[in-house]
Structure 1
Amino acid sequence: MRFMIIVKASPESEAGKMPSEKLLTEMGKYNEELVKAGVMLAGEGLHPSSRGARVQFSGNKRTVVDGPFAETKELVAGFWLIQVKSKEEAIEWVKRCPNPMESDSEIEIRQVFEAEDFGAEFTPELREQEERLRAQL
């Protein structure tokens, strides 16, 4: 099972405050544990929303809205993509994570959909296309 581990933004991360050397060292050790355990697939920090944009969809119309975005607690400051056996195992890994904000913070855990989750609507042709695209990655 794959899980996206979402680090929620804080006022400090949205202001562009960089992590301390201590936190970077702790995160490096944590990432090393994830890699050595064969769990980590990807993981990165993100720039503040002031450097981002959103594309809003309304029918065929697309509207681009530049950041920053107001609701800090709803924004993402970073992520990991991990592969583990269960949600419980994902939770255990996250509980071992250094506090990513050096203040109060929150990390969200969300399971990634797999091909079999889509049922009959995910036809053999669509499965083949998905496998072909994954092989190209």
Structure 2
Amino acid sequence: MFGKGSKIYSIVTNKCPRCHEGAFFEDNNPLHLKKVLKMNPNCPNCGLKYEIEPSFFYGAMYVSYALTVGMSIITFIILYFIGLDLMTIFISIFVLLVLFTPLTLRLARLIYANIFIHYDKDVKALREPKQL
């Protein structure tokens, strides 16, 4: 379920949706805020162009919205049953959403790309690996 060939593998490991080898984003660390949305234009391994059409990733905004709403609802339910007052709950949700924004943005793009691009185990690498 989480192995190579599944969409979850591509999303969690920041890999190309087609070959599951090349990196999707230039930097794997979402905390490097200057590079949070810097994507490779093509897969370094199979050459897949990530942005299928101009403004392709505008659709990822809907995925990001769903992720943040889901996170907010889960946080609200947990904190409500702990017994916190509403103002504290809403402040906690706001802080949580601000802290997780870089991760949410990246996950939304990876999920959106994986909706439209499917794994192909037979895809060939652009170049042969270097031999040491």
For normalisation by structure 1, the TM-score amounts to 0.26
For normalisation by structure 2, the TM-score amounts to 0.27
- Structure number with the higher helix fraction is 2
- Structure number with the higher strand fraction is 1
